[in-house]
Structure formats: structure tokens, C-alpha cells
Amino acid sequence: MILSTPSVAEIRRAIRNIPNFPKPGIQFKDITPVLADARLFSGSVDLLIDGFKPGMVDAVVGIDARGFIFAAAAALKLEAGFVPIRKKGKLPFQTYEQEYDLEYGTAAVAMHVDALKAGSRVLIIDDLLATGGTAAAASSIVRKCGAEILEIAFLIELGFLNGRKRLEGLPVRSLVLY
């Protein structure tokens, strides 16, 4: 490793705020500048998996879609498998599905029924924790398989939305808090 580990403050400075995207009133956290910088990208993955070493984790579960980027990189670093949890209707094989509430209506996420073995040790990674609905639904699917959730890690947490409340009892890590 020739790149020095970045600080959380450096990662935070690289996150771009886009007001009113994708709709009025939402401030979108754009992580693409973090991804474009080799040191920040690799370093943010190191911070997301800090404390875990190869051999400690069987699979890293990434949540559609930006979660895939960090989770796949984490899986390589940890020499673990990568498992996608996608929005319902995208995966080709048999799936477990879990609905969750949105501000208006519901959404659902899905995972292949054979993606995780009972007892496997799993990290779940997404780019951002907002209301926690997506991560709670993902956690419930992972537990349906009998897998053990070691941690759920996010690059960004919007603390004012209290997403952690929906993940009560689960170990949650976030790097950059707003």
C-alpha cells in the first residue's frame, strides 16, 4: 500500500452536496468525487472495514446501487464473497424479498435465496443511511437466511433522520455524520 489513509474530514470535504436532487427539498450527497480519488476511495473502504481482517468475514452484502461499489471493494480487501441486495425485480433467480415504507408508498429489496449460507458471517455496506428503511429491509433478508450480521457500515449517515432507530440491536458504523 503506497497511499496514506485519509482522514474522515478529508472524505467529508470530497462529498458534494447537490440541492434539490432528485426532487425539491432533498440534498443529495454525491460520493462520485470520493470514488474518483484513489486515496479517498481505497481509504474510505479501509475505514468501513476497520477492525475486520481476511478470514473474519464470509460475505460482504452491498445494497443497490452505490453500496455495490464500496461493498465489492471491501469484499476484495477482506477476501470474502460479494452478495448484491437489489431493488425488487432485478435479480434473475429465486429471491427473498422485503418491503419497506417510503414517504409515499412502499418499495422492496431482494436477494437470491442461495446467496448466503446459514451461519455465514456478513458485513452489510451501503453509501448512505437516511431513514434506515432500506438497511432494515436488507438486514431482515440477511437474517432470513440464518446469516450473522457482524456490522452494517455506511460512508454517510444523515443523523437527523434517525435511521439508526430502525436498526436497533444491530452494530452500525458510519464514517461521515451530517
Residue 126 vs 151, nearer CB to ligand AMP: 126
- How far is residue 167's CA from residue 152's CA, in Å, rounded to a whole number? 9
Separation of alpha carbons 137 and 107, rounded Å: 10
Q: How far apart are CA 39 and CA 125, in angstroms?
A: 19
The letter for the amino acid at 154 is F
Q: Does 134 bind ligand AMP (CB under 6 A)?
A: yes
Residues 48 to 87 in contact with ligand AMP, rule: CB under 6 A? 63, 66
Query: Minimum Å distance from CB 23 to ligand AMP?
Result: 11
Instruction: Name the minimum Å distance from CB 41 to ligand AMP.
Output: 16
Residue 134 or 139: the one with the smaller Cβ distance to ligand AMP is: 134
Cα 64 to Cα 86: distance, rounded to the nearest angstrom: 5
26 binds ligand AMP (CB under 6 A): yes
Q: What gap in Å lies between CA 42 and CA 78, rounded to an integer?
A: 13
3 forms part of the interface with ligand AMP (CB under 6 A): no
157 binds ligand AMP per the rule CB under 6 A? no
Q: Nearest distance from residue 21's CB to ligand AMP, in Å?
A: 8
CA 21 to chain centre: 20
Read off the DSSP letter of residue 139: H
Q: Which residues are catalytic?
A: 66, 103
Point out which residues bind ligand AMP (CB under 6 A).
26-29, 63, 66, 126-135, 163
